[in-house]
Structure 1
Amino acid sequence: MASFLTKCLLDFFVAFGVVLGGTMLAGICAVITLDPPVHRMETVAEQIKIWAMVAAIGGTIDPIRAIETHFHDGHISPAIQQILYIVCAFVGAHMGTSLIKWICGTGAAP
């Protein structure tokens, strides 16, 4: 159980960090290129969200294949764990995007 929670937290924070780090670096790039950083940061935060999830769950199709294999073999628990890992990565990426929107002043306060 501890390794499951550890993996969930790791997926959450990796996805959160990918969105936050990528967006902040895009903001720095916007300043260097004299673009409005707020607009660039919001755009990148939305575009990078799915890639943050992919990076958090391993970057391959293996988690989806694991879900299929476990359901096919009748083992529900490992498939549910994989789904929960994906959900944790989504929540991390979404919270990162929401934080960026809040920082930029276009989103509601969390």
Structure 2
Amino acid sequence: MAHFITKLASDFFIAFGIVLGGSLLGGISAVIFLESPSFTMERIAGNIKIWAMVAAVGGTIDPLRVIESNFLEGYLSPAIKQILFFISAFIGAHLGFLLIQWICKSPGKS
């Protein structure tokens, strides 16, 4: 059980860090090349969100195969665990995206 919770937290923070780090570094690149950092950061955060999820759960199609094979054989526990890993990674990536949106929000915007 402790390994499961650790993997959930790890997937969450990996996805969160990929979105946050990629967007912040993209913002630095925008400043260097005299572009709008807030627009660039929001665009990158939106584009990188799905890839952050994929990287967090394993980076290949194997996690989906685990769900399929276990579900079709009637073993629901491993399939549900894998789905929870995806949900954890999604929440991390989405919260990273929302944080970038909040950071980039100008005082005049609502």
TM beyond 0.5? yes
- Give the drift of 1:105: 1.1
Deviations 1:46-97 (A, max 9, x none): 0000000000001000100000010111100000000000000000000000
Query: Corresponding residue for 2:44?
Result: 44
- Moved segments of 4+, more than 2 Å: none
> Structure 1 vs Structure 2: percent identity of aligned residues?
60
Query: Corresponding residue for 2:80?
Result: 80
> Which sections of structure 2, spanning at least 5 residues, go unmatched?
none
Secondary structure of the equivalent of 1:59? coil
Query: Corresponding residue for 1:56?
Result: 56
Equivalent residue letter for 2:33: T
Structure 1 Cα separation of the partners of residues 74 and 52 of structure 2: 30
- Give the drift of 1:36: 0.5
Query: Corresponding residue for 2:67?
Result: 67
Task: Give the TM-score of the pair, scaled to structure 1.
Answer: 0.95
Query: Corresponding residue for 2:101?
Result: 101
Query: Corresponding residue for 1:10?
Result: 10
Query: Corresponding residue for 2:32?
Result: 32
Query: Corresponding residue for 1:23?
Result: 23
Number of aligned pairs? 106
- Give the drift of 1:33: 0.4
Secondary structure of the equivalent of 1:47? helix
Deviations 1:12-48 (A, max 9, x none): 0000000000000000000000001000000000000
> Which sections of structure 1, spanning at least 5 residues, go unmatched?
none
Structure 1 Cα separation of the partners of residues 49 and 72 of structure 2: 30
Task: Give the TM-score of the pair, scaled to structure 2.
Answer: 0.95
